[in-house]
Chain A
Amino acid sequence: AQKVTQAQTEISVVEKEDVTLDCVYETRDTTYYLFWYKQPPSGELVFLIRRNSFDEQNEISGRYSWNFQKSTSSFNFTITASQVVDSAVYFCALTTMEYGNKLVFGAGTILRVKS
């Protein structure tokens, strides 16, 4: 079965602090894809990143970085120098071809960045 766990329900930080959102996944498939989505207060789900199981390189995009470690089945997301506009719900998700490309989501982490 496919499963995604985001153990952090809610995180509060002060602006300019770094914050890491954890994501642990479970799957028996050898080919899979991991995603992060952001849901700002306006409600839409905004795609942030997609990573396949064969690419363990970490990725950096501006203040965002992602750490993919197959050994611990984790795909963590770090925001450096957080800003108030980063306040949102962040979802980690998993899909596999064997599972029919359906996204399996974690419960989401609410990030509150205070000025």
Chain B
Amino acid sequence: EAGVTQFPSHSVIEKGQTVTLRCDPISGHDNLYWYRRVMGKEIKFLLHFVKESKQDESGMPNNRFLAERTGGTYSTLKVQPAELEDSGVYFCASSPRTPGTDTQYFGPGTRLTVL
């Protein structure tokens, strides 16, 4: 069974540009989460999808971040326009059931560098 995949693995962009990160969860997992780790800080929750619906987006830092989950499958996280403080590693995770506290399985992350 394929794990959580994320694309790209690395992205380097200029301040003010737009970047879109993609996450493909484990097949059949209804729950999809985005987290991020900025340099030297803890991994922080951004948002949670249940199928195609946003269950909780309390961790989204501001309206420059837009997340979607088309048809309850893969998800995208767009940052527009990117700022320097957006640099970090963005992780996606998925878990199988709704609701619950099932184990979240993580992808390899996307390292975003904003110059």
Q: Is B91 an interface residue (CB 8 A)?
A: yes
Q: Is A64 an interface residue (CB 8 A)?
A: no
B109 to chain A minimum Cβ distance, whole angstroms, is 5
Roughly how many angstroms separate A100 CA and B31 CA in the complex, as a whole number?
Answer: 12
Comparing B12-20, B65-73, B99-107, the segment that makes contact with chain A is B99-107
Interface range for A: 20 to 34
Q: Quick check: B108 and A43 within 8 Å, CB to CB?
A: yes
Q: How many A-B residue pairs have CB under 8 A?
A: 59
Comparing A15-23, A68-76, A103-111, the segment that makes contact with chain B is A103-111
Q: Is B23 an interface residue (CB 8 A)?
A: no
State the main secondary structure of chain B at its contact with A: strand
Q: Quick check: A95 and B91 within 8 Å, CB to CB?
A: no
> Which residues of A (32-55) have their CB < 8 Å from a CB of B?
33, 35, 37, 42-47, 50, 52
Q: Is B7 an interface residue (CB 8 A)?
A: no
For A45, give the chain B residue with the smallest CB separation. Answer: B106
- Assuming the contacts A44-B106, A47-B106, asked whether A103 and B91 have C-beta atoms less than 8 A apart, the reply is no
- Assuming the contacts A47-B106, A103-B45, asked whether A95 and B101 have C-beta atoms less than 8 A apart, the reply is yes
Chain A residues positioned under 8 Å from B99 (CB to CB): 97, 101
> Which residues of B (33-55) have their CB < 8 Å from a CB of A?
33, 35, 41-45, 48, 55
Chain B residues positioned under 8 Å from A33 (CB to CB): 101
Q: Quick check: B101 and A91 within 8 Å, CB to CB?
A: no
What are 18 A-to-B residue pairs whose CB atoms are below 8 Å?
A33-B101, A35-B103, A44-B107, A45-B106, A46-B106, A91-B43, A97-B100, A97-B101, A100-B56, A101-B99, A101-B100, A101-B101, A102-B56, A103-B45, A103-B93, A105-B43, A106-B42, A107-B42
The 7 tightest CB contacts between A and B, nearest first, are: A45-B106, A44-B108, A105-B43, A102-B45, A33-B101, A105-B42, A100-B56
Query: Which residues of B does A touch, CB under 8 Å?
Result: 31, 33, 35, 41-45, 48, 55-56, 59, 89, 91, 93, 95, 99-101, 103-109, 111
